[in-house]
Amino acid sequence: MSTIRDILDRQAPWGIYEAGEGRVAASAAGLRMTTRNVTARCYSDAQIHDYRLRGLHLPRRPPLRISLRARFSHPAHALRGTAGFGLWNYPNLTHPVLPQTLWFFFASPPAAMELALGVPGHGWKAATMDTGRPQALTLLPFAPLAVPLMRSYAGYRMLWPGIQRCVGVQEAQLHSSMTDWHDYEIVWGERVSSLLVDGVAVLDQVPSPRGPLCFVAWVDNQYLVVTPQGRFGWGLLDAPEEQWLETSDLSFG
């Protein structure tokens, strides 16, 4: 088990990232990632992670089970920005890779990441994705044709389910209270994975992202728009109230 002191002391492999008005500190229960007095003029993020910046080493590989308890300061309708915890491959401008995720993820409006048919593009979710799979890469030459066709409802309903399977997207909207403590588990297998809340699978035996991946937990003030119809956008939100994600009992096995 990783202790809170290990993380706050930044003992290997742990790192802390604080941007803008984001802060990471010990709490009575464990560890709290907080933003406060945030405006849309500046990106703010409070984050813990276990990747190493030098060479961006991603340390996690399957099989792996991650357990933790967590709660948030606000319910889903009041939290602003994005927040969550789990595994991903840290895609960014200096590490340009196709996204792979296996995590619990929250995004507030105006975010619109409509990646799973029938699941809203914002809210509190369990989700997995692997856009670097060979099946996904074979679709790239057809994207200029598929995107315009999916701007109609009929085209979207016809084409997107197959594309969703190829990119390994599976999502489930979560209805449990975000402000109450819950036990979360991520079971990452070689071929299939599961995400559980309080011992109940909310995504069960879904295709696994390949990895390697790293663990991350965060709260920030950004939003992202990515839709099958070709809408893309990014921005920052005002979040003047104190917002936080609190975690405890983090373990890897």
State residue 80's pLDDT score.
97
Q: Are 51 and 41 in contact (CB under 8 A)?
A: no
Q: Are 13 and 40 in contact (CB under 8 A)?
A: no
Cα(176)–Cα(66) distance, rounded to whole angstroms? 19
What Rg, from alpha-carbon coordinates, does the chain have? 18
State residue 2's pLDDT score.
64
Nearest-CA neighbor of 245 among 22, 66, 87?
22
State residue 140's pLDDT score.
67
- Give the torsion through C-alpha atoms of 30, 72, 59, 23, to 10 deg: -70
State residue 35's pLDDT score.
98
In what helix (H) or strand (E) does residue 149 lie, and over which residues does it extend? helix 143-149
DSSP 8-state secondary structure symbol assigned to residue 80: -
State residue 184's pLDDT score.
98
The single-letter code of the amino acid at 126 is A
Cα(190)–Cα(205) distance, rounded to whole angstroms? 11
Q: Are 1 and 251 in contact (CB under 8 A)?
A: yes
State residue 120's pLDDT score.
94
- pLDDT one digit per residue (tens) for the chain, 253 residues: 666 778 878 777 789 999 999 999 999 999 999 999 999 999 999 999 998 765 578 999 999 999 999 999 999 999 999 999 999 998 876 777 889 999 999 999 999 999 999 999 999 999 999 987 777 677 666 666 677 777 887 887 888 788 888 889 999 999 999 999 999 999 999 999 999 999 999 999 999 998 899 999 999 999 999 888 888 999 999 999 999 999 999 999 9
3-state SS assignment for residue 140: helix
State residue 10's pLDDT score.
78
Nearest-CA neighbor of 223 among 137, 135, 113?
113
Cα(159)–Cα(156) distance, rounded to whole angstroms? 5
57: Cα separation from own chain's centroid: 19
